[in-house]
Structure formats: structure tokens, C-alpha cells
Chains A and B, each alone.
Chain A
Amino acid sequence: MLFGGATQRELDVQLRRIYVLYAAGFSLLILVLTLCEVLGMARTWIGYVFLLVTVCLYALIGIICRTSDSVEYYVAGRRVPAFYNGMATAADWMSVASFIGVAGTLYLSGYGGLAYVMGWTGGYVLVGLLLAPYLRKFGQYTLPDFLGARYGGNLPRLAGVACAFLCSFTYLVAQIYGVGIITTRMTGISFELGIFVALGGMLVCSFLGGMRAVTWTQVGQFIILIIGYLVPVIWLSLKVAGGPVPPLSAGPVMQQVIQTEERLRDDPKEVAVRRLWQARADQMDVRLRNLPQSWVTEKVVLRDRLAALMAADAPSVEIRSVERELAAYPADPEQARLAWFQARNDYLARAQPPVPAAQPYPGATPAERVDLRNNFVALVLCLMMGTAGLPHVLMRSYTTPSVGAARRSVAWSLLFILLLYLMAPALAVLIKQVIYTTLVGSPYTGLPDWVHAWSAVSPGLLDVTDVNGDGLVQLDEISMGADMMVLAAPEMGGLPYVVSGLVAAGGLAAALSTADGLLLTLSNSLSHDMWYRVVSPRMPANRRVLVSKVLLLAVAFAAAWVAARKPADILFMVSAAFSFAASSFFPVLVMGIFWKRANKWGATLGMAAGLAVTFTYMAHTHPWLRELVFSIDRTQPVTLWWGIQPIAAGVFGAPAAFLTIVVFSLLTPAPDAATRALVDYVRNPSSDPAPLADNAKS
């Protein structure tokens, strides 16, 4: 049987053969497509082939690995070798945000973006040292399982289910949304159809084979996503920096970029462009101040302009643009206020000089710099604790064969994650160099094709406007979204279209692998921890798997439905997941392992307090969420605690949770002898016969 040798050694040999063949096959596909492109194959077809072939590959692995055995379904039989578990964890962990977002963020926010690189890699130190080996030794199916056994009773278990749902569902919606964007861009099919293609790809794996199929698919997805990231970076590095190792050869390029930026910052034309943006922002300010009167007068002004243009027999392009503006005019003063406030913020942002590529905390005043530094450190800490608390990553430590393998698996995961994260800063610098040397200063009549293609997708992703009317592109006339850079990088660097298709396939793999892991976490929490453990504990093993599969379908469709409605602030929802994980799972898991005195009440109240503090802080400080919760208008200013942005709300929630656990554990009776014995058992890494694991199989 594939993916199931009789001994661990046999499995190892078999896996190596499968994945070497798989990688070779995929490389062959790339070569064939390159040849087809040279021979004149249409671009959309290259996109279709990549989409179809990769999704079919994942589906094939899913079908081969189908299972209804509960140990296979929940934890892949607990015999995934550390090396492959590391790859699967890396794919599980690296979401569409890592793949397409990190390099873009580094481009836009310079040093500030490194908080994500540090936070998302440093979190693995906490996973490896504080959590993974002990969770593996405990050896059940889910995180709430651990909470239920360690703290006793269904209360901590149900609190765990709630936290898992909170952390994973929003994250899952973001992944499905990302798949929609990528498939739309890659093949031109509609967003909704893209979402359902993605859903199909995901469900074939997780529905048929649970953790077993997801694990082996994730290994395959990791191979594709890393090829899809490395090929364009190395190619760009050869082309722009003249060396094949991006982290080494991009250093000197960074120096050039810094010099260009210094020159451009004081360039008179750039300064003039920034002043024009400032003037537009001021104009919006005036309008906002004169509401509701200005809503009437502005409409009259627009109508008059249209009439004047018509009378003067102006070119139809101009007339149509004013007509469009009039058609999109806010329906009432209330909407006008929101729209103009948004426009004012956009213009203000563009009136700022670009963020320097490498300078840490580039604030104008010392107070601003301190503020940036505090936010950087807070975000790093929050992301690290969040990484160490996200259930879909921690769940992967259950699938290794032993405690030692769990430790090694964390090291392998971090190595595989670094393969991508170490390339991201280099990629950002290389893209910057390309933009500065090919786009800035070029005439508007000869803009490259990718500029037209991407600004047609959405002005939020790319907008190049000749504000000062000199016919040349100034740096401050370009506005780019973080999400388009990696996907557009091959086109910017003038690489063949096959590479663009490859990058999109990589992004798709990143999104699908994370979505699969999240989907399993969600459905297992609901079916195993809620249904089986609490509602009907007498359910036989095969029924449990069936219930899991049904719930998995329900969760998947619910998430796709939410994603198809294009929720407003998706990026914020993802970062909120980290804060929630940092202030709920991380404290109670660490305390459960390292402090025997921690008990049921401390844990339950700790999770509640951590989440409450995090959510309250976010709800008071994030304009969108505040409007949702308190219906306070988003144009009102917010008050922050020590200037910390809501994105790092977990730095308040986590200490609150730790403190609550300590205080309430000490106020209530100590855990009984059986619980203390369980902690000793979890702390002991030797692989003596484990009654817990045996019980799980029955």
C-alpha cells in the first residue's frame, strides 16, 4: 500500500521514492510548459494547466490516502517521520499571507515588516522547547483533549473548543479568500468559481483521508510552494544582482536602493508630487468639515463640469470619466462622509515620503521613533506567542512517532520555513531595485504591460497616476498593494510567463495546505471534543469519523460562504487570530505542563480573561471593529494603551491570562493526585508503554 510500509524503515524508503518522483515530475511539467510558451502557447492556458495539474495531484494523493480508521483519520497513524512532518508543518504553517504577503510588507514598511519574519520564526523556539514534546507524549487527538485531561472536566475542554474555533475560522476564511484571488488572476475565472474550485481541492483531501491524506498532500504542496518561491527569487537575483544566492547577493543591491531613496527623497519633483497629494487631502478635509452642505455643492460642481464639457465638445474620454464619477457619487451625506474620510486617509498616506528600505523606526520625532520601536517589539512578541498557540500547528506534533521525533520535527519545520523567510527580504529589495531602475522616471506613454494588467485588477493593488502632469513616473505617483508584489515579481523582472504561473501555483499550494490543516482542526474540535466527548461519549470509532467528515463539510461550506461575501477587513481578522491564540492556548498549555498547581478554574478563567482583554482592546482601538461592536463612527480618533496598535493586542491578553491562571489556581483547591501523575507522565520523554495512547486506539 502506498504511504503505509510495514515498518518505519520501509515507509521511509517508500516516501523518498514517491516524493523524488513527484518533484521530478513537477520539474518536467515546468520544462514542458516553458517549451510550450516558446512555441507560442496562450498565457491563459499555462495558467489553466498549472491550476488543473496541481489540484489534480493533491486530489490524487487524497484519494490514495482515504481512510476511515480513527487513528489514521485524526493523527495520520502517528508514524510520520520527523523530516516529512517538518515539511507538512511548514506547509501547514505558511499561509497565503506568508507566501504573497511577507515580501510585499517588507517592500512597503522596510524594517517594520521584519517583525513578521522574526515573530513567525521565533515562535518555533517556544513550540519546540515548551510545547511540542509534551503534547506528543500526551498523545491524544486534539488540543482540547489535552485541556480536558490536564485540567479535568468538560469546562476547560469546551473553552478550548471555543478558542480553537475563534482562532481557526477567521484564518480559514482568509485562506479561501486568497485562493479566490489567485485563481481569478491566474485563469480569469470568476472569484466565486475560484473559491469553489479551491473548496473542491481541499475537500478531496481532508474529507476522504483526514490527517493522513492532509499530511501527505501537505508534503507535496510544500515541494510545489518552495519551488514556486525559489525559482523567481533566484532568477531575479541572477538578473538584477548577478549572484545565485539571494540573501548574499541582494546586500549590495540594498546599498544601491538606500542611495536611490536618499536621492529621491529630496528630489524637487517628488516633493512637488507629495505636496499635490497633500492638497487633495486638504480638499477632502474642507469637504468633511462643511458636511452636509458640501455634499450638495460638490454634486452641483460635478454636474456643472459635465455640462461645460459637453458644451465645449470635449473628448469623450473626459466626459465619460466625469460621468463615472457622478454615477459613483455618494448617495447621502452620511456615505459621503465615509467615502471622503477614506479618500482623505489615502491621499494623506501618499503625501508621506516612502518608508526607507532598511532604516529602523523611521519617525520624524524621537517620540514617534520610540512609538514605532515599542510597536515592533510588541508585535514580535505577540506573533511568537500566537505561533506557539495556534491549534493547527500544535496538532501536528501528535503525528510524529515519538517524543524525540517531535523535537526533531520542530527543527525540520523551522528549517523548511526559513527556506522561504530568508528569501523574502532579498526578494523585497530586488523588486525595489527593479521598480527604481525601470519604472521610476519612465514616460507614461511606455508603461510596461504588467502595470496595465495589475491596475486593471484593482487600484488598491497598483495605481500609477500622473499627478503633476509631467508625463514621467515619479516614485510618489506609484501606489502598490502588498499582495501583488510576489505574484507580479516575475512580470516586473521580465521573466517568462511560466514563472508567473509557477508562482501562482505556489501561492495556491500555500493557501490550500493551510486551509486543509485549519479545516481538520475545526471539524475535529467540533466532532471529537464537543460531540463525542461531551454530547455522546458512547459513539463507536467509525461513527466518530463519519461525524467528523459531515462537520468538515459544514465548516468548509460555511467558510466559503463567508469568503464569497468578501469581508471588509480580512488582514485584520488574520492578525487577530494570532492575538487570540497568544492569549488563550499559549498560557494555559504552558502552565499546564510547567506548573502542577494550575487547576481547572485557573485555566478556564485564564482563557476567558485573556480573550476578554484582547477582544476588549481590539474593540476599543480598531476603527472597523469598534464600529461593529459599539457603533462608534470610524472617523472618530482612538485612544491606545502605551501607543500599542490593536494588531498586537495579544501582548495585553497573554499576561492577563497568565496572571489569572496563577491567582485563581491558588485561590481554589489543588489538582488531585491523578492529574499530578498525568503531568509527570507528560514530562517523562521515555517511551514506556503509554496507557493514554492505547486508550485512544480502542
Chain B
Amino acid sequence: MLERPDDARRAPSSHADPGNAPAWRRNRRWILLLLSVWAALTFLPAWFARDVPYTVLGWPLSYWMAAYGAPLAYLLIVVVYARVMNRGDDAWDE
């Protein structure tokens, strides 16, 4: 029988049940929110790409959205998440 390395057993159990801790719930809510923004910005413009006639800075809007809009939004999402969570990390020790 294969045995698991001991280090996994040595994980601390000081946080009784962080599965329900407010900080973890908050983390999950943020992830859910930001991932829905991510999904909406990725799939909606791509799905309806043929139906938008506008242009931005000379680029056709659907092209601009996929080439610039979505990638910049991804950057914003990652930055917001890092900011929010790094500021809230102290909440774990409360």
C-alpha cells in the first residue's frame, strides 16, 4: 500500500472550521463576482460580435473589444482581486 508523505498530516488545525469562516465566505463571494464579470466580458462580446456596427478609435467595436477591451478588463479584475484580498487578509486573524 502506498503511503502518503507525513508533511500533509502536519497541517495545522488551529482554525477550527475556516470552511465557514467569514473571510473565506467573503473570498468566495469576490471570486464569484469577478468571475462572472470575466465570463460576461469574454463570451457576450464574442457571441454577438457580428451585431455591433460601432467603431472605437477607428477600430470596429467587436474587434477592439476582443483585442483591447477584454484584456484590459482582465488586468483590472486581477488587480482588484489582489487589492481587495490583500487588504482583507488581516480579517483572518480576528
Q: Does A422 sit within 8 A of B, measured CB to CB?
A: yes
CB pair A425–B67 under 8 Å, yes or no, is yes
Q: Determine the distance from Cα of A549 to Cα of B47 in the docked complex, in whole angstroms.
A: 48
A674 within 8 A of B: yes
Contact for B4 among A152, A254, A384, A421, CB less than 8 A: A152
- Of the residues A130, A250, A252, A410, contact of B31 by C-beta under 8 Å: A130
- Chain B interface size range: 35 or more
Tell me if A418 and B89 are in contact (CB < 8 A).
no
Binds B, one of A516-524, A650-658, A676-684: A676-684
Cα–Cα, bound, A373→B19 (Å): 40
B27 smallest CB distance to A (angstroms)? 8
B74 touching A422 by the CB < 8 A rule? no
| CB-based contact A129/B34 at 8 Å | yes
A140 surroundings in chain B (CB, below 8 A): 7
* Contact yes or no, B57 A248, CB < 8 A: yes
Whether B68 sits at the interface, judged by CB under 8 Å, is yes
Selected contact of A124 from candidates B5, B78, B89, B92, CB within 8 Å: B78
B17-61 contacts to A (CB < 8 Å): 17-19, 24, 27, 31, 34-35, 38, 42-43, 46-47, 49-50, 55-60
A118 and B59 form a contact (CB under 8 A): no
- Residues of B close to A253: CB separation below 8 A: 58
B47, B49, B56: most-surrounded residue (chain A CB, <10 A): B49
Chain A residues positioned under 8 Å from B7 (CB to CB): 140, 149, 691-692, 695-696
* Candidates A404, A408, A411; contact of B75 at CB < 8 Å: A411
The answer to whether residues A129 and B2 also contact, given A253-B58, A360-B62 and a CB cut-off of 8 A, is: no
A121 interfacial contact with B, CB 8 Å: yes
Given A358-B63, A360-B62, CB of A149 within 8 Å of CB of B8: yes
A564 vs chain B, min Cβ distance (A): 36
Q: How far is the CA of A415 from the CA of B77 in the complex (A)?
A: 12
A155 touches B (CB below 8 Å): yes
Docked-complex contact B38 and A125, CB < 8 angstroms: yes
Question: Could you tell me the distance between the alpha carbons of A674 and B6 in the complex, rounded to whole angstroms?
Answer: 10
The answer to whether A380 touches B8, judged by C-beta atoms less than 8 angstroms apart, is no
Contact pattern, A 236-254, Cβ under 8 Å of B = 1, otherwise 0: 0000000000011011111
Q: Which residues of B contact A673 (CB under 8 A)?
A: 13
A596 touches B19 (CB 8 A): yes
Residues of B within 8 A of A361 (CB): 49-50
Residues of chain B with a CB closer than 8 A to A688's CB: 12, 14
Please report the C-alpha to C-alpha distance between residue A50 and residue B47 in the assembled complex, in whole angstroms: 45
Q: Find A153's partner among B3, B42, B58 (CB 8 Å cutoff).
A: B3
Residue A613, interface by CB 8 Å? no
A686 at the binding interface (Cβ < 8 Å): yes
Cross-chain contact A128 with B78 (CB below 8 angstroms): yes
Chain A 242-270: CB-based contact to B (< 8 A → 1; otherwise 0): 00000110111111001000000000000
CB within 8 A of A418: which of B4, B71, B82? B71
Q: Are A369 and B50 also in contact (CB < 8 A) when A129-B81, A415-B75 are?
A: yes
* B31: chain A residues within 8 A (beta carbon): 129-130
CB <8 Å contact, A377 and B43 = yes
Residue of B nearest to A377 (CB): B46
Asked whether B58 lies within 8 Å of A360 as measured between CB atoms, the reply is: no
Q: Check if B18 sits within 8 Å of A122, measured CB to CB.
A: no
Task: Assess A422 versus B78: contact at CB under 8 Å? Given A360-B49, A377-B46.
Answer: no
Residues on B with C-beta less than 8 A from A252 are: 58
- Chain A residues within 8 Å of B82, by CB: 128, 404, 407-408, 410-411
Chain A residues whose CB sits within 8 angstroms of the CB of B14 once the complex forms = 688
Q: For the complex, is A646 an interface residue (Cβ under 8 Å from B)? A: no
Contact with B along A650-668 (1 / 0, CB 8 A): 0000000000000000000
Contact with B along A94-118 (1 / 0, CB 8 A): 0000000000000000010010011
Expressed in whole angstroms, the Cα–Cα distance for A111 and B66 within the complex equals 8
Complex CA–CA separation, A359 to B63 (angstroms):
8
Q: B residues within 8 A CB of A425?
A: 63, 67-68
Q: Which of B57, B66, B92 contacts A684 (CB 8 A)?
A: B92
Report if A403-B89 is in contact (Cβ < 8 Å); known contacts: A129-B35, A360-B63, A596-B19.
Answer: yes
Q: Specify which of A121, A133, A360 is in contact with B71 (CB 8 Å cutoff).
A: A121
Q: In the bound complex, what is the Cα–Cα distance between A596 and B19 (angstroms)?
A: 9
Which residues of the partner chain A approach B64 to less than 8 Å between Cβ atoms?
A: 251
- Give the distance in Å from the alpha carbon of A537 to the alpha carbon of B5 in the complex: 9
Question: Known contacts A360-B50, A361-B50: does B78 contact A154 (CB below 8 Å)?
Answer: no
Q: Are B58 and A251 in contact (CB under 8 A)?
A: yes
Closest CB-CB distance, B69 to chain A, in whole Å?
10
* Chain B contacts with A in 65-94, Cβ cutoff 8 A: 66-68, 70-72, 74-75, 77-79, 81-82, 85-86, 89-90, 92-93
Smallest beta-carbon distance A135→chain B, Å: 15
A411, A596, A692 — most chain B CB neighbours (10 Å): A411
Q: Which residues of A contact B58 (CB under 8 A)?
A: 250-255
Cα(A52)–Cα(B27), bound, Å: 49
Bound together, the chains give a CA A591 to CA B7 distance in angstroms of 21
Whether B24 and A686, one on each chain, are in contact in the complex, defined by CB atoms closer than 8 angstroms, is: no
Chain A nearest CB from B92 CB (Å) reads 4
Question: B8: which A residues are within 8 A, CB to CB?
Answer: 148-150, 152, 674-675, 678
> Chain B residues near A422 (CB, 8 Å)?
67-68, 71-72
Contact B46 A122 (CB under 8 A): no
A55 within 8 A of B: no
Q: How far is the CA of A154 from the CA of B3 in the complex (A)?
A: 7
In this complex, what residue of A is CB-closest to B18? A680
Q: Select one of B50, B71, B78 contacting A410, CB under 8 A.
A: B78
What are 27 contact pairs spanning A and B, CB under 8 A?
A111-B49, A111-B66, A117-B67, A121-B71, A121-B74, A122-B71, A124-B74, A125-B34, A125-B35, A125-B38, A128-B77, A128-B82, A129-B77, A149-B4, A149-B5, A153-B4, A251-B56, A251-B58, A377-B47, A414-B75, A422-B68, A673-B13, A675-B8, A680-B15, A681-B15, A685-B89, A696-B7
- A121-B70, A414-B74 given; 12 more Cβ-contact pairs under 8 Å: A122-B38, A129-B78, A153-B4, A254-B63, A360-B50, A380-B42, A407-B81, A418-B75, A421-B71, A675-B8, A680-B11, A685-B89
CB within 8 Å of B: which residues of A? 111, 114, 117-118, 121-122, 124-125, 128-130, 133, 140, 148-150, 152-155, 247-248, 250-255, 258, 358-361, 369, 373, 376-377, 380, 384, 403-404, 407-408, 410-411, 414-415, 418, 421-422, 425, 533, 537, 596, 673-675, 677-678, 680-681, 683-686, 688, 691-692, 695-696
